[in-house]
Amino acid sequence: MREAGASGGRWREQLAPLLGDPAASAVFCDLDGTLAPIVARPELVEVPDRARSALEGIASRFGLCAIVTGRRPQEAREIVGVAGIAYAGNHGFELLEPGASAAVPSPELAGREDAAAGYLADAVDRERMAAAGIRLEDKGPIVALHWRGAPDEGVAEQIALDIGEDARGCGLRTHAGRKVLELRPPVSVDKGVAIAGLLRRSGLRNAFFAGDDRTDVDGFRVLAEMRDAGELDAVVRVGVRSPEGPSEIVAEADLVVAGTEELADLLAVLAPPVEG
């Protein structure tokens, strides 16, 4: 892992394989905590103009540009505001192609689309959750329990973890993030699976992925596996450092930036220069 400084030259050294052959390269980015700062309520998130402009330039230059996010893909497209890129939403459970009007669910979901919502409807004390300040986010196949900003975040977290333990006993899968716990169908789909699928379909040989949270580590690991297996020639995994981020993000990244603003600076290096 290398800490990124303010030197564009240093970044260019790391990014040289992608900059040397952008048509054969893919750029993947997480959304919350990576492109955009984390906010108290997910619906209030905004992507800074610098990051959006960089993505637009990257989309025009690289073989593939995609947002890989826990949000639903249509929502992610509205937030990011760049139409000409792909959106792998719900951690890979849904894919919204550039220009498409509707997302396509993963075939692995067949018959399990409502498993998480059904569990919550039948087995959870909603009043207790609400009293603790836990907010439910219905993302279709995934339901997220948020406790950021709860009156007592520690109490709310423990209630959410208890629900998660019970959900696993009922056959669901869970995934913890930054003050959020997701209930998922029992399907082997994650950001790494989504990234690998997009790369194999495209045949591109180089890949960049930036992320900040535990779910992004799946993407980091699959890129390393594909490189080691000879499926990729070059990989750049960028960890976005934050006080709440897991240690794996820093430990497994090839390059670490200090936050979302520095990530926007890094993306600008990948974008084509603006003609004066």
Spatial CA neighbour of 145 closest among 118, 177, 122: 177
Tokens representing 57? 């330039």
Domains 2-106+189-270 and 111-184 share a fold: no
- 104 near 201, Cβ under 8 Å? no
Euclidean distance between CA atoms 98 and 95, whole angstroms: 10
Euclidean distance between CA atoms 198 and 47, whole angstroms: 24
Tokens representing 259? 């936050």
Active site residue 30: yes
Full pLDDT tens readout for the chain, 276 residues: 556 554 456 799 999 999 999 999 999 999 999 999 998 888 899 999 999 999 999 999 999 999 999 999 999 999 999 989 999 999 999 999 999 999 999 988 888 888 999 998 887 788 899 999 999 988 889 899 999 999 999 999 999 999 999 999 999 999 888 899 999 999 889 999 999 999 999 999 999 999 999 999 999 999 999 999 999 999 999 999 998 889 999 999 999 999 999 999 999 999 987 554
- CATH number among 3.30.450, 1.20.1420, 3.30.70, 3.40.190, domain 111-184: 3.30.70
pTM for this model (two decimals):
0.86
Which of 21, 30, 212, 216 is catalytic? The answer is: 30
Going from N- to C-terminal start, the domains of the chain cover 2-106+189-270, 111-184
Architecture of domain 2-106+189-270: 3-Layer(aba) Sandwich (3.40)
DSSP 3-state assignment of 205?
Answer: coil
Long-range contacts made by residues 8-14, C-beta under 8 angstroms, separation at least 24? Answer: 8/269, 11/255, 11/266, 11/269, 12/269, 14/236, 14/254, 14/255
